Amino acid sequence: MTKLEKLIKEHCPNGVEYICIDQIFKTITAPKKLNRKEYKEKGSFPIIDQGQNFIIGYTDDKTSILPKDEYIIFGEHTRIIKYVNFPFAQGADGLKILVSANKQMNTKYLYYAFSKLEIPSRGYNRHWSIVKDLCIPIPPLLIQQEIVRILDKYIELDAELEKELQDELEARKKQYEYYRNELLTFNTNSDIMKKTANSQQPTANSQQPTANSQRRVRFLTLGEIAEYSQERIIASELNNENYIGVDNLLQEKKGKTISSCVPNKGIYTRYDNGDILIGNIRPYLKKIWKANTIGGANGDVLVIKIKDIQFITSNYLYYLLSSDEFFNYDMQYSKGAKMPRGNKQAVMKYQIPVPSLEEQEKIVNILDRFETLTNDLTNGLPAEIVARKKQYEYYRDKLLTF
Protein backbone atom coordinates (compact mmCIF):
# COMPACT_ATOMS: atom_id res chain seq x y z
CA MET A 1 0.00 0.00 0.00
CA THR A 2 1.41 3.40 -0.99
CA LYS A 3 1.65 6.39 1.32
CA LEU A 4 -1.20 8.05 -0.56
CA GLU A 5 -3.41 4.98 -0.24
CA LYS A 6 -2.73 4.85 3.51
CA LEU A 7 -3.62 8.54 3.88
CA ILE A 8 -6.86 8.10 1.95
CA LYS A 9 -7.80 5.01 3.99
CA GLU A 10 -7.07 6.87 7.22
CA HIS A 11 -8.54 10.34 6.49
CA CYS A 12 -11.32 9.83 3.96
CA PRO A 13 -12.31 6.14 3.71
CA ASN A 14 -15.82 7.11 2.60
CA GLY A 15 -14.80 9.48 -0.19
CA VAL A 16 -14.25 13.23 -0.37
CA GLU A 17 -16.35 16.35 -0.77
CA TYR A 18 -16.69 18.02 -4.19
CA ILE A 19 -16.82 21.82 -4.13
CA CYS A 20 -17.61 24.20 -6.98
CA ILE A 21 -14.88 26.42 -8.42
CA ASP A 22 -16.81 29.57 -7.55
CA GLN A 23 -16.71 28.63 -3.85
CA ILE A 24 -13.04 27.64 -3.84
CA PHE A 25 -11.51 30.70 -5.49
CA LYS A 26 -11.65 34.44 -5.22
CA THR A 27 -11.14 36.40 -8.43
CA ILE A 28 -8.84 39.40 -8.15
CA THR A 29 -7.88 42.14 -10.58
CA ALA A 30 -4.46 43.47 -11.50
CA PRO A 31 -3.69 47.12 -10.65
CA LYS A 32 -3.97 47.81 -14.39
CA LYS A 33 -3.82 45.99 -17.71
CA LEU A 34 -0.94 46.70 -20.06
CA ASN A 35 -1.59 47.08 -23.77
CA ARG A 36 0.65 45.62 -26.44
CA LYS A 37 2.47 48.88 -27.05
CA GLU A 38 3.82 48.64 -23.51
CA TYR A 39 5.25 45.11 -23.88
CA LYS A 40 9.06 44.85 -23.85
CA GLU A 41 11.35 41.99 -24.85
CA LYS A 42 13.23 42.37 -21.55
CA GLY A 43 12.22 43.78 -18.19
CA SER A 44 11.94 43.18 -14.45
CA PHE A 45 8.50 41.54 -14.48
CA PRO A 46 6.75 39.14 -16.89
CA ILE A 47 3.46 40.06 -18.54
CA ILE A 48 0.88 37.26 -18.47
CA ASP A 49 -1.47 36.55 -21.37
CA GLN A 50 -3.96 33.70 -21.85
CA GLY A 51 -2.04 31.97 -24.65
CA GLN A 52 -0.27 28.62 -24.39
CA ASN A 53 3.10 30.23 -23.57
CA PHE A 54 1.29 32.80 -21.37
CA ILE A 55 4.40 34.98 -20.76
CA ILE A 56 4.03 37.38 -23.67
CA GLY A 57 6.51 40.11 -22.72
CA TYR A 58 8.08 42.07 -19.89
CA THR A 59 7.70 45.38 -18.11
CA ASP A 60 9.48 47.59 -15.59
CA ASP A 61 6.24 49.31 -14.54
CA LYS A 62 5.92 48.45 -10.82
CA THR A 63 2.47 50.06 -10.57
CA SER A 64 1.00 47.28 -12.74
CA ILE A 65 2.41 44.36 -10.74
CA LEU A 66 0.60 41.77 -8.63
CA PRO A 67 2.94 40.74 -5.78
CA LYS A 68 4.47 37.29 -5.39
CA ASP A 69 1.83 34.79 -4.30
CA GLU A 70 0.19 31.62 -5.58
CA TYR A 71 -2.20 32.35 -8.44
CA ILE A 72 -4.16 30.32 -10.93
CA ILE A 73 -4.62 31.95 -14.32
CA PHE A 74 -7.67 30.97 -16.35
CA GLY A 75 -8.01 32.07 -19.98
CA GLU A 76 -11.67 32.80 -20.55
CA HIS A 77 -11.27 32.57 -24.32
CA THR A 78 -8.63 29.82 -24.54
CA ARG A 79 -9.60 27.63 -21.52
CA ILE A 80 -5.86 27.46 -20.71
CA ILE A 81 -5.05 27.07 -17.01
CA LYS A 82 -1.68 28.05 -15.52
CA TYR A 83 -0.11 28.07 -12.07
CA VAL A 84 1.90 31.22 -11.25
CA ASN A 85 3.92 31.79 -8.09
CA PHE A 86 5.85 34.96 -9.00
CA PRO A 87 5.02 38.67 -9.38
CA PHE A 88 3.56 39.60 -12.77
CA ALA A 89 1.56 42.12 -14.77
CA GLN A 90 -1.64 41.37 -16.68
CA GLY A 91 -1.58 41.77 -20.45
CA ALA A 92 -4.56 41.11 -22.67
CA ASP A 93 -8.17 41.01 -21.55
CA GLY A 94 -9.90 37.70 -20.91
CA LEU A 95 -7.87 36.57 -17.89
CA LYS A 96 -9.39 35.39 -14.66
CA ILE A 97 -6.80 35.73 -11.89
CA LEU A 98 -7.74 33.35 -9.08
CA VAL A 99 -6.48 32.87 -5.52
CA SER A 100 -7.61 30.30 -3.01
CA ALA A 101 -10.46 31.53 -0.81
CA ASN A 102 -9.29 29.17 1.94
CA LYS A 103 -5.64 29.24 2.95
CA GLN A 104 -6.04 25.71 4.34
CA MET A 105 -6.17 24.48 0.77
CA ASN A 106 -3.05 23.73 -1.27
CA THR A 107 -3.14 26.05 -4.30
CA LYS A 108 -0.94 23.76 -6.38
CA TYR A 109 -3.38 20.91 -5.70
CA LEU A 110 -6.28 23.13 -6.75
CA TYR A 111 -4.39 23.87 -9.98
CA TYR A 112 -3.92 20.15 -10.73
CA ALA A 113 -7.57 19.40 -9.98
CA PHE A 114 -8.75 22.39 -12.01
CA SER A 115 -6.60 21.24 -14.96
CA LYS A 116 -8.37 17.86 -14.92
CA LEU A 117 -11.80 19.39 -15.61
CA GLU A 118 -13.45 18.83 -18.97
CA ILE A 119 -14.46 22.33 -20.06
CA PRO A 120 -16.81 22.38 -23.08
CA SER A 121 -15.78 24.79 -25.82
CA ARG A 122 -17.84 27.87 -26.67
CA GLY A 123 -15.47 29.01 -29.43
CA TYR A 124 -13.84 32.33 -28.59
CA ASN A 125 -16.60 33.30 -26.15
CA ARG A 126 -15.98 33.68 -22.44
CA HIS A 127 -16.05 30.43 -20.45
CA TRP A 128 -16.08 31.56 -16.80
CA SER A 129 -19.87 31.32 -16.58
CA ILE A 130 -19.54 27.58 -17.26
CA VAL A 131 -16.37 26.92 -15.26
CA LYS A 132 -17.47 28.57 -12.02
CA ASP A 133 -20.19 25.94 -11.53
CA LEU A 134 -17.92 22.93 -12.10
CA CYS A 135 -16.74 21.05 -9.02
CA ILE A 136 -13.46 19.43 -7.99
CA PRO A 137 -12.65 16.95 -5.19
CA ILE A 138 -11.26 18.47 -1.99
CA PRO A 139 -9.58 15.83 0.20
CA PRO A 140 -7.87 16.67 3.52
CA LEU A 141 -4.77 18.89 3.28
CA LEU A 142 -2.32 16.02 3.93
CA ILE A 143 -3.67 14.19 0.89
CA GLN A 144 -3.57 17.33 -1.24
CA GLN A 145 0.09 17.78 -0.34
CA GLU A 146 0.97 14.17 -1.16
CA ILE A 147 -0.75 14.36 -4.56
CA VAL A 148 1.17 17.58 -5.31
CA ARG A 149 4.45 15.92 -4.31
CA ILE A 150 3.81 12.97 -6.66
CA LEU A 151 2.74 15.08 -9.64
CA ASP A 152 5.55 17.61 -9.16
CA LYS A 153 8.07 14.76 -9.11
CA TYR A 154 6.57 13.24 -12.24
CA ILE A 155 6.78 16.58 -14.10
CA GLU A 156 10.37 17.03 -12.92
CA LEU A 157 11.37 13.60 -14.23
CA ASP A 158 9.48 14.23 -17.45
CA ALA A 159 11.36 17.51 -17.96
CA GLU A 160 14.68 15.72 -17.39
CA LEU A 161 13.79 13.11 -19.99
CA GLU A 162 12.73 15.74 -22.50
CA LYS A 163 16.05 17.55 -21.98
CA GLU A 164 17.94 14.29 -22.54
CA LEU A 165 16.04 13.74 -25.80
CA GLN A 166 16.74 17.30 -26.91
CA ASP A 167 20.43 16.89 -26.04
CA GLU A 168 20.55 13.63 -28.01
CA LEU A 169 18.98 15.34 -31.00
CA GLU A 170 21.46 18.22 -30.78
CA ALA A 171 24.38 15.79 -30.54
CA ARG A 172 23.09 13.89 -33.58
CA LYS A 173 22.79 17.14 -35.54
CA LYS A 174 26.34 18.15 -34.62
CA GLN A 175 27.60 14.72 -35.65
CA TYR A 176 25.77 15.07 -38.97
CA GLU A 177 27.20 18.56 -39.57
CA TYR A 178 30.69 17.30 -38.76
CA TYR A 179 30.51 14.46 -41.29
CA ARG A 180 28.90 16.71 -43.87
CA ASN A 181 31.79 19.17 -43.53
CA GLU A 182 34.35 16.35 -43.68
CA LEU A 183 32.81 14.82 -46.79
CA LEU A 184 32.46 18.15 -48.55
CA THR A 185 35.95 19.43 -47.70
CA PHE A 186 38.60 18.68 -50.30
CA ASN A 187 42.37 19.05 -50.19
CA THR A 188 43.17 22.46 -51.64
CA ASN A 189 46.95 21.94 -51.78
CA SER A 190 47.17 19.01 -54.16
CA ASP A 191 45.33 17.02 -56.86
CA ILE A 192 42.98 19.94 -57.61
CA MET A 193 42.22 21.45 -60.98
CA LYS A 194 41.12 25.02 -60.28
CA LYS A 195 39.13 27.11 -62.69
CA THR A 196 38.26 30.78 -62.48
CA ALA A 197 34.98 32.50 -63.11
CA ASN A 198 36.19 33.31 -66.64
CA SER A 199 36.77 29.68 -67.54
CA GLN A 200 34.79 27.97 -70.26
CA GLN A 201 31.55 26.33 -69.10
CA PRO A 202 32.12 22.65 -68.20
CA THR A 203 30.21 19.99 -70.10
CA ALA A 204 29.61 16.30 -69.81
CA ASN A 205 32.68 15.78 -72.06
CA SER A 206 34.97 17.90 -69.88
CA GLN A 207 37.95 16.09 -68.41
CA GLN A 208 36.85 14.67 -65.05
CA PRO A 209 38.70 12.81 -62.32
CA THR A 210 38.85 9.07 -62.88
CA ALA A 211 37.33 6.52 -60.54
CA ASN A 212 40.82 5.68 -59.28
CA SER A 213 41.71 9.23 -58.25
CA GLN A 214 41.38 9.95 -54.53
CA ARG A 215 38.89 12.81 -54.05
CA ARG A 216 40.30 14.60 -57.10
CA VAL A 217 38.17 17.67 -57.74
CA ARG A 218 37.93 20.87 -59.69
CA PHE A 219 36.73 24.08 -58.06
CA LEU A 220 34.17 26.06 -60.06
CA THR A 221 31.91 28.96 -59.27
CA LEU A 222 28.23 28.24 -58.80
CA GLY A 223 27.57 30.35 -61.88
CA GLU A 224 29.66 27.99 -64.01
CA ILE A 225 27.57 24.96 -63.17
CA ALA A 226 24.14 26.48 -62.46
CA GLU A 227 21.96 29.48 -63.23
CA TYR A 228 18.89 31.27 -61.96
CA SER A 229 15.70 30.02 -63.55
CA GLN A 230 14.51 32.23 -66.40
CA GLU A 231 11.29 30.27 -66.92
CA ARG A 232 7.93 31.67 -65.83
CA ILE A 233 4.65 30.22 -64.58
CA ILE A 234 1.23 31.89 -64.23
CA ALA A 235 -0.66 32.16 -60.95
CA SER A 236 -3.54 29.93 -62.13
CA GLU A 237 -1.11 26.95 -62.14
CA LEU A 238 -0.15 27.49 -58.50
CA ASN A 239 -1.70 26.19 -55.29
CA ASN A 240 -0.76 26.00 -51.61
CA GLU A 241 1.40 22.93 -52.29
CA ASN A 242 3.56 24.21 -55.17
CA TYR A 243 3.74 27.96 -54.50
CA ILE A 244 6.91 28.96 -52.64
CA GLY A 245 7.54 32.25 -50.84
CA VAL A 246 9.99 32.97 -48.03
CA ASP A 247 7.07 32.60 -45.61
CA ASN A 248 6.57 28.90 -46.30
CA LEU A 249 10.27 28.01 -46.58
CA LEU A 250 11.24 26.68 -43.16
CA GLN A 251 14.20 27.89 -41.15
CA GLU A 252 17.30 25.80 -40.41
CA LYS A 253 17.21 23.80 -43.67
CA LYS A 254 13.91 22.09 -42.83
CA GLY A 255 12.42 22.37 -46.30
CA LYS A 256 9.00 23.92 -46.84
CA THR A 257 5.42 23.77 -45.67
CA ILE A 258 2.18 24.52 -47.49
CA SER A 259 1.59 28.17 -48.31
CA SER A 260 -1.13 30.13 -46.53
CA CYS A 261 -1.10 32.93 -49.10
CA VAL A 262 -1.24 31.82 -52.76
CA PRO A 263 -1.46 34.59 -55.39
CA ASN A 264 -4.43 34.53 -57.77
CA LYS A 265 -2.85 36.63 -60.50
CA GLY A 266 0.57 37.49 -61.90
CA ILE A 267 3.60 35.66 -63.32
CA TYR A 268 6.17 33.92 -61.13
CA THR A 269 9.52 32.15 -61.42
CA ARG A 270 9.02 28.55 -62.45
CA TYR A 271 10.95 25.76 -60.75
CA ASP A 272 11.25 22.13 -61.81
CA ASN A 273 11.91 18.85 -60.04
CA GLY A 274 15.51 18.93 -58.77
CA ASP A 275 15.90 22.72 -58.70
CA ILE A 276 17.18 24.24 -55.47
CA LEU A 277 15.20 27.07 -53.86
CA ILE A 278 16.83 29.41 -51.35
CA GLY A 279 15.21 32.19 -49.32
CA ASN A 280 16.95 35.42 -50.29
CA ILE A 281 15.76 37.50 -47.31
CA ARG A 282 17.71 37.15 -44.04
CA PRO A 283 20.10 34.42 -45.22
CA TYR A 284 20.97 33.61 -41.59
CA LEU A 285 17.59 31.85 -41.34
CA LYS A 286 19.03 29.13 -43.64
CA LYS A 287 15.91 28.52 -45.74
CA ILE A 288 16.51 25.99 -48.51
CA TRP A 289 14.50 23.28 -50.29
CA LYS A 290 15.23 20.88 -53.14
CA ALA A 291 12.13 20.76 -55.33
CA ASN A 292 10.38 17.45 -55.93
CA THR A 293 7.66 18.88 -58.18
CA ILE A 294 6.95 21.72 -60.60
CA GLY A 295 5.75 25.04 -59.26
CA GLY A 296 6.41 28.75 -58.88
CA ALA A 297 8.27 31.05 -56.50
CA ASN A 298 8.11 34.76 -55.81
CA GLY A 299 10.96 37.20 -56.27
CA ASP A 300 12.31 36.73 -52.74
CA VAL A 301 13.26 33.12 -53.50
CA LEU A 302 16.30 32.14 -55.58
CA VAL A 303 15.56 29.28 -57.99
CA ILE A 304 18.85 27.59 -58.92
CA LYS A 305 18.89 25.27 -61.91
CA ILE A 306 21.83 23.00 -62.86
CA LYS A 307 23.14 23.58 -66.39
CA ASP A 308 24.44 20.06 -67.03
CA ILE A 309 23.26 17.15 -64.87
CA GLN A 310 25.97 14.95 -66.43
CA PHE A 311 28.53 17.06 -64.58
CA ILE A 312 27.01 17.62 -61.13
CA THR A 313 23.95 16.11 -59.47
CA SER A 314 21.15 18.04 -57.86
CA ASN A 315 21.45 16.06 -54.61
CA TYR A 316 25.16 16.80 -54.31
CA LEU A 317 24.70 20.51 -55.03
CA TYR A 318 21.86 20.66 -52.48
CA TYR A 319 24.16 19.37 -49.74
CA LEU A 320 26.80 21.95 -50.66
CA LEU A 321 24.32 24.83 -50.64
CA SER A 322 22.64 23.70 -47.41
CA SER A 323 25.96 23.90 -45.55
CA ASP A 324 26.59 26.53 -42.89
CA GLU A 325 29.61 27.58 -44.93
CA PHE A 326 27.38 28.63 -47.83
CA PHE A 327 24.90 30.53 -45.64
CA ASN A 328 27.76 32.33 -43.86
CA TYR A 329 29.10 33.33 -47.28
CA ASP A 330 25.65 34.44 -48.39
CA MET A 331 25.24 36.53 -45.24
CA GLN A 332 28.72 38.05 -45.68
CA TYR A 333 27.72 39.57 -49.03
CA SER A 334 24.11 40.40 -48.16
CA LYS A 335 22.81 43.97 -48.28
CA GLY A 336 20.72 45.79 -45.69
CA ALA A 337 20.84 45.82 -41.89
CA LYS A 338 17.31 45.26 -40.55
CA MET A 339 16.18 42.93 -43.34
CA PRO A 340 19.37 41.75 -45.11
CA ARG A 341 18.93 40.44 -48.64
CA GLY A 342 21.33 38.04 -50.34
CA ASN A 343 23.47 39.36 -53.20
CA LYS A 344 22.46 37.34 -56.26
CA GLN A 345 25.69 38.13 -58.13
CA ALA A 346 27.85 37.13 -55.15
CA VAL A 347 25.91 33.88 -54.71
CA MET A 348 26.88 32.84 -58.25
CA LYS A 349 30.56 33.40 -57.40
CA TYR A 350 30.49 30.89 -54.53
CA GLN A 351 33.17 28.22 -55.03
CA ILE A 352 31.91 24.68 -55.59
CA PRO A 353 34.12 21.56 -55.37
CA VAL A 354 33.13 19.18 -58.15
CA PRO A 355 34.46 15.61 -57.85
CA SER A 356 33.50 12.76 -60.17
CA LEU A 357 29.86 11.71 -60.39
CA GLU A 358 30.83 8.47 -58.67
CA GLU A 359 32.32 10.40 -55.75
CA GLN A 360 29.28 12.69 -55.63
CA GLU A 361 26.99 9.66 -55.40
CA LYS A 362 29.02 8.17 -52.53
CA ILE A 363 28.88 11.44 -50.59
CA VAL A 364 25.13 11.82 -51.16
CA ASN A 365 24.44 8.24 -50.04
CA ILE A 366 26.31 8.75 -46.77
CA LEU A 367 24.68 12.11 -46.05
CA ASP A 368 21.25 10.75 -46.94
CA ARG A 369 21.66 8.07 -44.28
CA PHE A 370 22.75 10.63 -41.68
CA GLU A 371 19.86 12.91 -42.55
CA THR A 372 17.39 10.02 -42.25
CA LEU A 373 18.70 9.15 -38.79
CA THR A 374 18.49 12.78 -37.69
CA ASN A 375 15.00 13.22 -39.10
CA ASP A 376 13.81 10.01 -37.43
CA LEU A 377 14.90 11.39 -34.09
CA THR A 378 13.51 14.85 -34.87
CA ASN A 379 10.12 13.41 -35.81
CA GLY A 380 10.15 10.94 -32.95
CA LEU A 381 10.83 13.59 -30.30
CA PRO A 382 7.44 15.37 -30.53
CA ALA A 383 5.70 11.98 -30.53
CA GLU A 384 7.59 10.98 -27.38
CA ILE A 385 6.67 14.28 -25.72
CA VAL A 386 2.99 13.81 -26.62
CA ALA A 387 3.09 10.27 -25.24
CA ARG A 388 4.62 11.55 -22.00
CA LYS A 389 1.95 14.25 -21.73
CA LYS A 390 -0.79 11.63 -22.12
CA GLN A 391 0.89 9.45 -19.53
CA TYR A 392 1.07 12.38 -17.11
CA GLU A 393 -2.61 13.19 -17.68
CA TYR A 394 -3.52 9.55 -17.09
CA TYR A 395 -1.73 9.44 -13.72
CA ARG A 396 -3.01 12.88 -12.75
CA ASP A 397 -6.57 11.77 -13.43
CA LYS A 398 -6.06 8.55 -11.48
CA LEU A 399 -4.67 10.47 -8.49
CA LEU A 400 -7.53 12.96 -8.57
CA THR A 401 -10.32 10.37 -8.84
CA PHE A 402 -11.85 9.56 -5.47
Q: What is the pLDDT of residues 171-192, one digit of tens each?
A: 877 877 887 788 888 765 433 3
What is the model's pLDDT at position 176?
A: 79
Assess if residue 337 is contained within a domain: yes
Predicted local distance difference test score (pLDDT) of residue 377: 63
Instruction: Tell me what the pLDDT averaged over the chain comes to.
Output: 85
Asked if residue 344 and residue 212 are part of one domain, the reply reads yes
Same domain, 272 and 304: yes
Is residue 332 assigned to a domain? Answer: yes
- Summarised one tens digit per residue, pLDDT across range 54-75 is 898 999 999 999 999 999 999 9
CA-CA distance, 237 to 266, in Å (whole number)?
11
Is 329 domain-assigned?
Answer: yes
Say whether 256 sits in a helix, a strand or coil: strand
Per-residue confidence (pLDDT) for residue 202, from 0 to 100: 38
- Calculate what percentage of the chain has a pLDDT beyond 90: 56
Longest dimension (CA), the chain: 91
Does residue 159 sit within a domain?
A: yes
Instruction: Please state which of the ranges 271-285, 299-313, 377-391 shows the lowest mean pLDDT.
Output: 377-391
For residue 105, being part of any structural domain is answered with yes
381 vs 138: which has the higher pLDDT: 138
pLDDT score at 121: 86
Predicted pLDDT at 2? 82
For the segment 131-141, the average pLDDT, to the nearest whole number, is: 92
199 and 127 fall within a common domain: no
Does residue 208 register a pLDDT over 50? no
How does residue 274 score in pLDDT terms, banded at 50, 70 and 90? very high
Q: Tens of pLDDT along 38-54?
A: 899 899 999 998 877 78
Of the candidates 353, 351, 320, 349, which has an alpha carbon nearest to the alpha carbon of residue 333? 349
Domain extent, residue 165, equals 140-186+356-402
Residue-wise burial string across 99-137, b where 16 or more C-beta atoms lie within 10 A, e elsewhere:
bbeeeebbbbbbbbbbbbeeeeeeeeeebbebbbeeebb
Same domain as 283, residue 233: yes
pLDDT at 170 over 50: yes
360 and 350 part of one domain: no
CB under 8 Å to 143, separation ≥6 — which residues? 4, 7, 8, 11, 12
Q: Is the dihedral of CA 348, 349, 355, 360 positive or negative?
A: negative
Does the pLDDT of residue 396 top 90, yes or no? Answer: no
Report the CATH number that the domain containing residue 347 is assigned in CATH: 3.90.220.20
278 and 318 share one domain: yes
Query: How many domains is the chain partitioned into structurally?
Result: 3
- Asked whether residue 9 is domain-assigned, the answer is no
278 plus 326 within the same structural domain: yes
| Domain-embedded: residue 144 | yes
| Distances from the Cα of 26 to the Cα of 54, 90, 100, 246, 389, angstroms | 21, 17, 6, 48, 29
Looking at the structure, do residues 172 and 311 belong to the same domain, yes or no? no
More confident residue, 247 or 208: 247
Sign of torsion, CA 112 114 119 124?
negative
Same domain, 86 and 41: yes
Cβ proximity of 31 and 87 under 8 Å: no
Do 258 and 287 meet the contact criterion of CB atoms below 8 Å apart? no
Q: Say whether both 153 and 258 belong to one domain.
A: no
Domain boundary among 104, 123, 138: 138
For residues 203 and 162, state if they share a domain: no
Q: Please tell me the pTM assigned to this model.
A: 0.56
Task: Kindly state whether residues 156 and 295 are assigned to the same domain.
Answer: no
